[in-house]
Chain A
Amino acid sequence: MSAEVQKTKAPSEPLFSKKNKKLITDPLTDNNPVTVQVLGICSALAITVQVKQGLVMGLSVIFVTMMGNFVISAIRNMIPSRIRIIVQLVIVAALVIIVDQVLAAFMPDLSAQLSVFVGLIITNCIIMGRLEAFAMANKPWPSLLDGLGNGMGYAGLLIIVAVFRELLGSGSIFGYALLGSPIPSDGHPLGTGLYAMGYMNNNMMILPPMALIIVGIIIWVQRSRNKALIEEH
């Protein structure tokens, strides 16, 4: 009986079909929201001084893009077109408040460090862009994957930039000092590890403009490897 019912139904797409997989993998590489579409740059500059901050910010954005895409897609046929942008904003704002409150409750110190940037996820162009361009026209499951992919594309770049900035600017990753301690102690006038040999942290890495330069270098490397990404003039 059940086999008969299945036969009469149109063959449904598997959850992770080739098309759906591309929704996740594309934004990670050739359609990265930050390096290719150059969206969401502002927060990439501000919170990439430490890998931990970048990671939490990335996870927050993944949550908001995923859930935002899913919810908007689920109610896309009910949204009156005249107020659709406002509806999208309300959903995104609610999700961001959820993230902000959860961070404040369970990761208070990190929440204080990220301060306004969690709230500013609302203004992240990637989110509204995906809602308007994808979720409004597609079913919830592909929309969820699209949100996941774009969120991961953003988070991945944030973490790459943060690794460079934290390693070169503070000599650590995730707060673990990899290069030794730059603080002078008894018997180690220059500190320990690499610092004992005269190495110094690059304080410029801590400043926001260096994030832009690192993003620029990543874009350069990516486009030199994949010529299709270079725009014609």
Chain B
Amino acid sequence: MILNKESNGYTFGFAVILVVAVGAILAILALVLKPYIAANGVQKQQMDILSAFVDLEKEGISRRNVEEKFAKYVKLSDAIVLDMNGNVREGVDAFKVDIRAEYKDKNLKDADKNYPLFIAKKDGKTLYIIPVVGKGLWGPIWGNICLGEDMNTIQGASFGHKGETPGLGAEIAQPFFVDRWIGEKLMDENGVFAKFEIVKDNSGGAMEKKVDGITGGTITSKGVEEMANRCLAVYATYFSNLKNSQ
């Protein structure tokens, strides 16, 4: 019997077989490549955390040696996870918390969100690295903010973004913008967290909770402001509780 190639039955049959075959090939490929892609994600996360307090280029840190360097600075067993009230949440692996996915998840209640805190040692000093996440103009923005031994002063930071406008919003990842955060303090003398403000009038030079924004990147800059305030407030509560109990 010769199949009639133009019949509806043949057309449907061909389409179904083709799609099933292609789907199967892609599914197998995805399974095979999954561990590699996951390992890349871990390396990226480690590099992001390190970039808050280490100059990756100067130290020659790349994907190839990041695991070893990360282990040198950061002890994952020291890392903790907080809840939104600044209390330690037991039994959660800080490194496995995907704050970007949690931030995006509309069904997740704020009370269920996790706030990881990584603790690093560099030159004998203890550093506290806070991952933050928020949204810019076109998509997610994120970063890691590093506090010094006083659990208050920002020592370093790194910001990243998915697709902010090059030359405008994308400049948040540039060192000049990151440097504007260094030296700012989370809490005032009374241990109260005050909000950061992104300003346009070039008054951000002094360390008074004001940071100069980026010209032409207002919405992204405001996104960084919102991100910093929302996330850092949780950690500020934790740090002031910790200090009071000492």
Contact = CB atoms under 8 A, between A and B. Distances in A.
Contacts, number: 50
Given A80-B14, A108-B63, A109-B63, A98 B26 contact: yes
Interface of B: 5-6, 10-11, 14-15, 18-19, 22, 25-26, 29-30, 33, 36-37, 40, 43-44, 63, 163
A80 B22 contact: no
A82 B15 CA distance: 11
A80 to B, nearest CB: 4
Given A81-B6, A98-B29, A105 B18 contact: no
| Interface bin, chain A | 20 to 34
B166 to A, nearest CB: 9
Given A104-B37, A105-B33, 4 more contacts: A78-B14, A86-B15, A101-B37, A105-B36
B27 to A, nearest CB: 11
A83 B11 contact: yes
A97 interface: yes
Which among B25, B33, B43, B163 has the greatest number of chain A C-beta atoms within 10 A? B33
Contacts of A90: 18-19, 22
A108 to B, nearest CB: 4
B22 A94 contact: yes
Interface string A101-118: 110111011000001000
B30 A101 contact: yes
B141 to A, nearest CB: 15
Given A90-B22, A91-B22, A80 B29 contact: no
